[in-house]
Chains A and B, each alone.
Chain A
Amino acid sequence: MKSSGAQILRHLLERQGITTLAGIPGGAILPFYDALHDSGIRHILARHEQGAGFIAQGMARATGRAAVCVATSGPGATNLLTAIADARLDSIPLVAITGQVPCALIGTDAFQEVDTYGLTLPITKHNFLVRSAAELLDIVPLAFELAQSGRPGPVAIDVPKDVLQAELTVARWPEPGRPIPPARCPDPAIDALAQALRQARRPVLYLGGGVIGAGAETWVRRLAHQLQAPMVSTLMALGAVPPDDPLHLGMLGMHGRKGTNLLLEEADFLFAIGARFDDRATGRAVEFCPRATIAHLDIDPAEIGKIKSVAHALAGDAADVLRRLLDRLPVPVSRPAWVARAAELRAAHPLHRPPRAEDPLHPLHLIAAIAGAVPADAILTTDVGQHQMWVAQAYPFRQVRTFLTSGGLGTMGFGLPAAIGASLACPGRRVACVSGDGSILMNLQELATLAELDLPVAVLVFNNAHLGLVRQQQELFYGGRYAASRFHAAPDLAAVARAFGLRGHRLDPDGDPLAELSDLLQRPGPCLIDIPIHDAANVYPMVPPGAANHRALTAPELVAVSAHA
């Protein structure tokens, strides 16, 4: 029996185990939508292709498995680009399928023709322009293999309309694409590292998103405790280690706590695990960990030595390497002075916030209230800005894949569609999207998708009537010359939510807003809660962009209260 290219594509996705995908149809991709019509695959109709891309990302980030988004040629494809680039920088397995004009029209400036292959080339792990229906049989499994193997990433498949329509008899279906295990890290490198770690006097483990990608969180904690080595986390690693682990000093870098960055100044050995020495984490790279010998374990050999030269290079799967490393460290190492020093630095530099009674709507109080109102396995997404950093600093993430945020690209508009995707992938879990009044407008249309799907997603807008992080930078680094960071007209977001068919609320600052917030979060179903916060609140500490981490600015005027008190 003959199948069309579109039916073949659909069947290959089914064979990959894809049950849900997000997209928006249009001319060039319509044959595929026709094939979806009688399929078990659930299609989520986003309201903008960027929304579809981030819905797929939400599914992928919450599960670790590749997810699929679909768009038509031309504007559909260009609208997907931001979500693809975002997946690239955060190493998220995403398969983006786009329609293309028929082969014969490629290169003629046909209606809705754009060079999707050329546009996606620099922002994907790999990309394909499919030339025939038969090629789909190789390309689709390969796309899933590539997206999920080694360091994950996005793969784009551009399919001309006539390829979707071509008929073909498939004699044998290919095996679904599966992640290929990375090459095994050689023993001598692990032997040498074990010895170096034993001999180090002030070692620190620097954890990146790769820890979660590799499922290595248990091994990391065991190693830290065996070695009595404090841990620091990047934004992408939050959730790998609970905040109350006595050896965890939380997030390092631009908005990390002062004690965390100071500890790194004192370290004599830094073991980076699945981290890439991003500038937001390291500050001025030459001044990062000035006293430390560096060991770097990463699944991507190209990351090792990219920013800092290292004494120990280990390419491989973090869970496998750490397990083998622990085999070589059977005797617990005792480092009481170093552990005490870490505890001292942690205690000496808590996050600063005003007393709760004085300013209950301070973001750090809000975050504590959210954490208290939702279950420990709730998934939080954020947009980008101050609210994102407050969440990263203060929310007590205790499980992997409960914090989904746009780290590398820092894309405003990520939060809402990613929350929808996470909720689709994890039915029964509470999902909250913490956003800003700037970011939420960037994919606001997905409120319609949320209302339609009726998922348990709460959108919490920290409303400061500004592009807050921009305003903060203008205050601190541009002499208070505020340009284009203030909104002079603001939509009534609660009313907007209601117009989309959702529950919409605005917290009353004169009542008991934190109690009201917890109460609203207990109610089932989707909602948007507009939360007025102080427009001058800043995220502290903050390392000036480009400066060394020890140059962090802090907020001396605020009273110190531990964020986890």
Chain B
Amino acid sequence: MSHVTGLFARRGFNLDAILCVPLGDGQASCIHLLVPGEPRIEQVERQLARLYDVLEVRRRPDLTAADFARFLTPAPTACHPPGIRD
């Protein structure tokens, strides 16, 4: 997880939201990253793919910012998707 988020900060890629879900026995997880309007999206994918911890990188054009927002607990203060901004 820190390898993935660190990459975005380090390379100055835009990142609006992160959603991380453990898979199966917790040995692996699936991380959804909301990367709106990042012009270097191919670079983002390649840089992610070269991380040793990353098993696979896939684009999900079917998901939108609203999908990320849906996972939020309805606490009144949490009005933005949690995530890292650079």
Contact = CB atoms under 8 A, between A and B. Distances in A.
Interface of A: 118, 121-122, 125-126, 146, 300-302, 305-306
A122 B3 CA distance: 8
B68 to A, nearest CB: 25
A302 B2 contact: no
Interface string B4-46: 0010001000000000000000000000000000000011001
B-side binding surface: helix, strand, loop or mixed?
A: helix
Given A122-B10, A146-B52, A301 B46 contact: yes
Given A121-B6, A125-B52, A126-B51, 13 more contacts: A118-B2, A121-B2, A121-B3, A122-B6, A122-B10, A126-B3, A126-B53, A146-B52, A301-B50, A302-B43, A302-B46, A302-B47, A302-B50
A70 B23 CA distance: 36
B51 to A, nearest CB: 8
A126 B2 CA distance: 11
A305 B40 CA distance: 10
Nearest to A301: B46
B49 interface: yes
A59 to B, nearest CB: 24
Given A126-B52, A146-B52, A300-B50, A305 B43 contact: yes
Nearest to A150: B50
Nearest to B40: A306
Interface residues of B, number: 13
A272 B42 CA distance: 20
B21 to A, nearest CB: 22
A330 to B, nearest CB: 34
A300 B3 CA distance: 18
Contact of B42 (A118, A126, A305): A305
Nearest to A303: B46
Nearest to B52: A126
A302 B49 contact: yes
A302 B42 CA distance: 9
A126 B53 CA distance: 9
A316 to B, nearest CB: 14
Nearest to A122: B10
A306 B43 contact: yes
B26 to A, nearest CB: 15
Interface string B57-86: 000000000000000000000000000000
Contacts of A121: 2-3, 6
A121 B52 CA distance: 12
A124 to B, nearest CB: 10
B10 to A, nearest CB: 5
Contacts of B6: 121-122
A126 B46 CA distance: 16
Going nearest first, the 3 A-B pairs with the smallest beta carbon separation are: A302-B46, A126-B52, A122-B10
A146 B49 CA distance: 14
A276 to B, nearest CB: 13
A141 to B, nearest CB: 14
Nearest to B2: A121
Interface centre among A125, A301, A302 (most CB of B within 10 A): A302
Contacts of A306: 43
Contacts of B52: 125-126, 146
A125 B50 CA distance: 9
Contacts of B46: 301-302
A300 B43 CA distance: 12
Contacts of A301: 46, 49-50
A118 B50 CA distance: 19
Contacts of A122: 6, 10
A121 B53 CA distance: 12
Contacts of A305: 42-43
A417 to B, nearest CB: 27
A300 B49 CA distance: 11
15 contacts: A118-B2, A121-B2, A121-B6, A122-B10, A125-B52, A126-B3, A126-B51, A126-B53, A146-B52, A300-B50, A301-B46, A301-B50, A302-B50, A305-B43, A306-B43
A18 B32 CA distance: 41
Nearest to A151: B50
A98 to B, nearest CB: 17
A81 to B, nearest CB: 15
Contacts of B50: 300-302
A305 B52 CA distance: 21
Contacts of B49: 301-302
B29 to A, nearest CB: 17
A300 B6 CA distance: 19
B53 to A, nearest CB: 8
A125 B53 CA distance: 11
B13 to A, nearest CB: 12
A301 B47 CA distance: 9
